[in-house]
A = this chain, B = another copy of it.
Amino acid sequence: MIAEIISVGNELLIGKTVNTNAAWLARKLTILGFNVKRITVVPDDEDSIVSEVKASIGRGSKLIVMTGGLGPTFDDKTSESLAKALGRRWVINEEAYRMVKLKYERKGLPLTEHRVKMAKMPENAKPIPNPTGTAPGIYIEHGNTIIIALPGVPSEMKEMFEKYVEPKLKNLVKNRYFVESKIIVKGIPESTIAPIIDKVVKSEPLVYVKSHPKGLELEKPVIELHLYTSDSSREAALERLRKVKELLRKEILNFTGEFIEE
C-alpha cells in the first residue's frame, strides 16, 4: 500500500515553517501499515499542485494525503487544483456548504464569496468535517487512488485525521503491524558498524536497520540504530525484530563498545 504526502504552502519553501505536518502524517500512515514513498512540498501555485497530484497517481500511489491550501484566501488553491488534476468539475459541495454555512450563521456572519469558496470541491468529493476550524477537508476516491486533503493548520489537521480519516484507513489496511526498536551504541564509529549492519540486514532483509550518528564519528561516536519491520502478524514482526537485535548485540559486543537497548 503505497502512500505519498503532498504539502502545499510557500511558507514551507521559504523556510518560515518546519513541515511538522508531514512528519506527523508519515508516522501515522506508517503505523497504519502504509509505505510512505515520498513527501513533496509544492508552492501555492495551481500548475505545481496539478502536476504533482498527477505524477503521484502516475507513480501508483494508493493514498495521497495533502495538507494546506483549503482556506479562504487568494492563494488557497488545493481544491481547485485537485479538480483540475482529476479532470473533474469544481463545484459547490452541498454537504460542505451546509457545514460552512452553519459555522458562520451561528456567529451571525454572512456567507461571502470567500467563505463559500471553502465549500467548493471537485465533483463527487466527500467533505471531511472540521470541528475547530471552518474549511472542511476533502475525501476523493479516484480509480485506485484515495486522495485526502486536510487544512495546513496542525491542530485542525490532526483532529480531522484522527477523528475521520484514521478510522477509514484502518479498514483499508487490515492486519499490518509496524514494530520498531532502538539501540544506542557508544564508542564505535559508524564506519565500523557499517559492515555489521550489512551482514545482519543480509541475514534478515525484512528488518530495516538504519544508523543515525548522534555524536562525533572519530572523537566520541554515538550511533543510534533504529530497527523496524512490519508484518500481518504482530508476533512474527516482534520475533523478527528480537532476532536481529540479538544478532546485532552479538556482533557489536565483539568490539569495545557500549550497547544500550531502548
Instruction: Report if A163 contacts B (CB, 8 A).
Output: no
Known: A14-B27, A14-B36, A37-B13. A71 touches B22 (CB 8 A): no
A197's partner among B36, B42, B73, B193 (CB-CB below 8 A) is: B73
Q: Which residue of chain B has its CB nearest to the CB of A73? A: B194
Of residues 1 through 28 on chain A, the ones whose CB sits less than 8 Å from some CB of chain B are 10-20, 22-28
Cβ B38 vs Cβ A26 within 8 A: no
Classify chain A: how many residues form its interface, as a range: 35 or more
Known: A72-B190, A107-B218, A216-B132. A12 touches B26 (CB 8 A): yes
Instruction: Report if A198 contacts B (CB, 8 A).
Output: yes
Copies of this chain held together in the complex: 2
User: Min CB distance, A198 to chain B, in Å?
Assistant: 5
Residues of B near A194 (CB, < 8 A) are: 71-74, 114
Instruction: Report if A245 contacts B (CB, 8 A).
Output: no
Q: Which of A86-94, A120-128, A206-214 contacts B (4 or more CB under 8 A)?
A: A206-214
- Of the listed residues A16, A24, A36, A134, the one surrounded by the most CB atoms of chain B closer than 10 A to its CB is A16
Instruction: Report if A256 contacts B (CB, 8 A).
Output: no
Cβ A12 vs Cβ B23 within 8 A: yes
* Alpha-carbon distance A191/B133, docked complex (angstroms): 11
Interface string of A27-52 (1 = CB under 8 A from B): 11110000011111111100010000
User: Min CB distance, A45 to chain B, in Å?
Assistant: 9
